[in-house]
Amino acid sequence: RASALVAEIVLCVKEPNRKTRTAAYELIVALGAPAAGAADAAAAYAPLADLTAAVLAGVAAGSPRLASASVMALARLLHAYPGPLAGDGARLLPALLPLLRTKSREAVKAALGFCKVAASRLPADALVPHLRDLLHALLAWSDDPKNKFRLRVRLVVERLVRRLGADAVAAAMPPGDARLMAHIRKQASRRDRRRAGGGEDESEDGDGDGARTVRTARTARTGRTGKSAWAPTALFSEGGDARRTGAASARG
């Protein structure tokens, strides 16, 4: 009965009504909140562990709608609780990466959004063991003939480079994708030159919102931009891609 209730809440993240989606995400975060007065960390985060397991069960459901909604809910939990869920990186990524090999574009879109959050929020040591599998699954969509997921893939790879270093990512990439890695290195070199010159530094702040914030060198030094909020529209909607594609094309 509890798992059925969780499934109903999870499905609400795909409702057309924005207020309903927002309320569903907020409820999911609240259900995973640490238990008050717990004796230790394990007891405090027991509700989160139980909730994560229940949501993860929906990924294996036969319905692409429930599977994609479950991935979106897991992305929200990871964004809210990256520390407690760090140990689940070994469980979450292997469970979700197979969705990138399915024919359901709905499920693939959700999985790409989760990967972006994971690339930002999971600790580096939780990402490294899965880096090769993650890149091989992601880069299968780098030449998407419908051109919907190509930019999403590149953004995740760029974020992995910033977190883990270009050499580590390049070593784990399929040989056929060396051109993408060369492009990312070139863009990083341009950013470094802008920083050294004291000019504007374009850097992607935050963890799941997909919004690129242009920061001046002074802002970068003072750190005034703060932590980004959860923004699922940019993560999971086609519109988020469209807005970013123009900017990315302009930068070459």
214 forms beta bridges with 202
What are 173's two structure tokens? 């990439």
What are 97's two structure tokens? 């990466």
The per-residue pLDDT for 188 is: 75
- Bridge-based pairing state of the strands 201-203 and 213-215: antiparallel
Q: Could you read off the pLDDT of 115-162 as tens digits, one per residue?
A: 999 999 998 988 999 999 999 999 988 877 666 788 889 899 999 999
d(CA 11, CA 71): 11
What are 51's two structure tokens? 């909730």
> Which of 150, 142, 86, 153 is closest to 118 using CA atoms?
86
Residue with tokens 């580096």: 124
Q: Could you read off the pLDDT of 184-237 as tens digits, one per residue?
A: 888 777 777 887 776 554 444 444 333 333 333 333 333 333 356 888 888 887
Q: pTM of the prediction? A: 0.80
The per-residue pLDDT for 1 is: 57
d(CA 248, CA 232): 20
